[in-house]
Chain A
Amino acid sequence: MSTIYILWLRQLKRYVRSKARMIGSIGQPLLFLVALGYGFGPIYQKAGGGNYIQFLAPGVIAMGILFTAMFMGIEITWDKQFGFLKETLVAPVSRMSIMIGRTLGGATVALAQGVVIFLIALAIGFHPQFNFLWVVFIFMLLISMLFTGIGTAIASLIDDMQAFPLIMNFLVMPTFFLSGALFPLEGLPPVITLIAKSDPLSYGIDGMRGALTGVTAFGFFTDFAVLAAITVVVLAIGAYLFSRIEI
């Protein structure tokens, strides 16, 4: 227990201390909200979609969480490179508890990030319904855990940060753009629909959007079941790969 706590605490301290990272990770979602929200707003309205900011905000909140969570997971690679990971790996505690502590730490940071973006969205003109906030919170938490877990799993396999751009461009970006964060998943070409449906983030965003605006494409139950199942599987794989790290 104390192991999990101290690892969690470390992630938080590191994050709070790096101001540049905090500001940077809020900048991008803010840009998306303002540029896309106001830019595409009129077209979306004309096409009969209603208020675009209402639609976009849950997607951008999820995006903030996705990016931060992935990064927090992949950060293990830095620890590998700068040597600190050795210190944790030889400690008389199970690798499982190390992995859990780190993942919870990363997920907490990602979740906090999501909350900040949520508040920014409110300031920009997002008008959600507030009675299902706890459901929103659960989906945000699941997204945080899932992508921190994926980051951890990947970091266990790579030796340095050189692969990071590759992961950004071929995993994180597609996960975001093909998730229904920016556009509704109805009436798309079948291939895109198929891809969107196999993207776990789609279910997270759909669940959040449902709870915040009352419109869901897949239904809460499906959203929750799919996301939770994938999260459990990913964390299990992550824990396995993490336990096999050699330095």
Chain B
Amino acid sequence: MFLAAARRTFIAIMPSIIEVKNLVKTFGDFTAVNDVSFDVQKGEIFAFLGPNGAGKTTTIKMLTTLLKPTSGEIFLDGKNIIHDQDAARRSFGIVFQDPSLDDELTAWENMEFHGVLYHVPKAMRRKRIEELMNFVELWDRKDALVKTFSGGMKRRLEIARGLLHHPKVLFLDEPTTGLDPQTRNHVWSYIENLNKEEGVTVFFTTHYIEEAERAATRVAIMDHGVIVDRGTSDELKQQTDSSSLEDAFIKLTGRDLRKESAGADAMRTHAKVWGRR
């Protein structure tokens, strides 16, 4: 009891690197993110969990300046990202949930492009590109066009690219989806190491709950656009009287499949056919 209280005070006085206040995002009359507030401390590995359509990616898009919030405030490393987008962009890196490679470029060119955009000095850039591409076992395919890669290879390249510059905050939106267990383990060791050695704050989503249980210092669980619970993995297990975080997750978010989100997806496709946002 005392320890938990002490830990909370400790966290409260640590500087937060991500600060989100009353964040809201609506698409038409659908509210994807509904009054969400949270803090992430410097050096944390923060897991952001939730069923399909919960609003995780939408939140990350707002945190990374790709979407403008309907209302609410976001501070990244002390900067208001709505008013100071350029400054905010200097402090983070991201691996997206959806594909984001240029298929018409080679694997190496994709890496190089990223390194130049993120101002990684040339010598360091070349060194890290080789290291990382070896790490994800793509170095021998470096001159192949990305369109000739398998899904898993593309994913590995995206992860390698996301790790090329060492930002203050690293956003990972389902980084390991589609990867085999060996690679997933491998990638997580690398991320944890980056966090330990360079103090990179990691903010990630995943549907592999055991990844959160293994790596995360704290977890927030989102459902239907709101955060339903948060705390350390142990706290969540205790509160829900579960033996694993996965059990706790299911207890907190229910067992039903997310039909509503399928409906919203269909509506979105429909809207696209008619050429409107």
**A159–B271 Cα gap in the complex (Å)?**
10
Known: A10-B102, A90-B66, A92-B86. A3 touches B117 (CB 8 A): yes
Q: Quick check: B275 and A158 within 8 Å, CB to CB? A: yes
Closest chain B CB from A192 CB (angstroms): 31
Most buried by B among A92, A159, A162: A92
- Which listed residue (A3, A10, A18, A86) contacts B105, Cβ 8 A? A10
Say whether A186 faces chain B, with CB atoms less than 8 Å apart: no
Looking at chain A's contact residues, is the secondary structure mostly helix, strand, loop, or mixed? helix
Residues of A within 8 A of B96 (CB): 83, 86-87
**Contacting residues, chain B, for A246 (C-beta < 8 A):** 66-68
A159 to B90, CA, bound (A): 27
Given contacts A17-B104, A247-B66, whether A159 and B117 have CB atoms under 8 Å apart is no
Residue pair B99, A13 in contact (C-beta under 8 Å): no
**Is A169 on the interface with B (CB-CB < 8 A)?**
no
In the assembled complex, the CB of B268 is this many whole angstroms from the nearest CB of chain A, namely 10
The listed residue (A18, A83, A159) touching B98 by CB distance below 8 A is A83
Q: Give the complex CA separation of A88 and B94 in angstroms.
A: 11
Interface positions, chain B 63-80, Cβ under 8 Å from A, are: 64-68
Distance in angstroms between the alpha carbons of A93 and B117 in the assembled complex: 7
What residues of chain A lie closer than 8 Å to B272, measured between beta carbons?
159-160, 162
Residues 43-100 of A at the B interface (beta carbon under 8 Å) = 79, 82-84, 86-94
Asked if B208 lies at the interface with its beta carbon under 8 angstroms from chain A, I say no
List, in ascending order, chain A residues with CB within 8 A of B94's CB: 90
A175 to B65, CA, bound (A): 36
Task: Tell me which residues across on chain A come within 8 A of B119, comparing CB atoms.
Answer: 2, 92
Chain A 222-233 against B: per-residue CB contact (8 Å), 1 yes, 0 no? 000000000000
Distance, CA A93 to CA B87, complexed state (A): 9
Report whether B103 and A82 are in contact in the complex, using a CB–CB cutoff of 8 Å.
yes
How close is B68's CB to chain A, nearest CB, in angstroms? 6
- B98, B104, B118: which contacts A14 (Cβ < 8 A)? B104
B275 partner residues in chain A, CB cutoff 8 A: 158-160, 162-163
When distances are taken between beta carbons in the complex, the residues of chain A under 8 Å from B243 are none
User: Is A6 on the interface with B (CB-CB < 8 A)?
Assistant: yes
Contact with B along A1-44 (1 / 0, CB 8 A): 01101100010011001100000000000000000000000000
Given A17-B104, A84-B100, A246-B68, A91 and B118 contact (CB-CB distance below 8 Å): yes
Q: Let me know if B66 and A87 touch, CB within 8 A.
A: no
CB distance from A174 to the nearest CB of B (A): 20
Which of B42-50, B108-116, B180-188 lies at the binding interface?
Answer: B108-116
- Asked if B277 is at the interface of the complex by the 8 Å CB criterion, the answer is yes
In the complex, chain A residues whose CB is within 8 Å of the CB of B65: 89-90
Q: Does B252 contact A (CB under 8 A)?
A: no
Tell me if B90 and A92 are in contact (CB < 8 A): yes
With A159-B275, A159-B277, A162-B275 in contact, is A247–B116 under 8 Å at CB?
no
Name which of A5, A18, A90, A91 has the most chain B CB atoms within 10 A of its CB.
Answer: A90
With both beta carbons as reference points, the residue of chain A lying nearest to B101 in the complex is identified as A84
Given contacts A158-B275, A163-B275, 10 further A-B contacts (CB under 8 A): A2-B116, A5-B116, A10-B102, A87-B100, A87-B101, A88-B117, A90-B65, A93-B89, A160-B275, A247-B66
Which residues of A are interface residues toward B (Cβ below 8 A)?
Answer: 2-3, 5-6, 10, 13-14, 17-18, 79, 82-84, 86-94, 158-160, 162-163, 246-247
A and B contact pairs by CB, cutoff 8 A, 13 listed = A2-B116, A82-B103, A86-B98, A87-B101, A90-B89, A92-B117, A93-B117, A159-B275, A159-B276, A160-B272, A160-B275, A246-B67, A247-B67
B residues whose Cβ falls under 8 Å from a Cβ of A:
61, 64-68, 86, 89-90, 92, 94, 96, 98-105, 109, 112-114, 116-119, 272-273, 275-277
Report the 8 A-B pairs with minimum CB-CB distance, sorted nearest first.
A91-B117, A92-B90, A83-B100, A6-B116, A92-B89, A83-B99, A87-B100, A84-B102
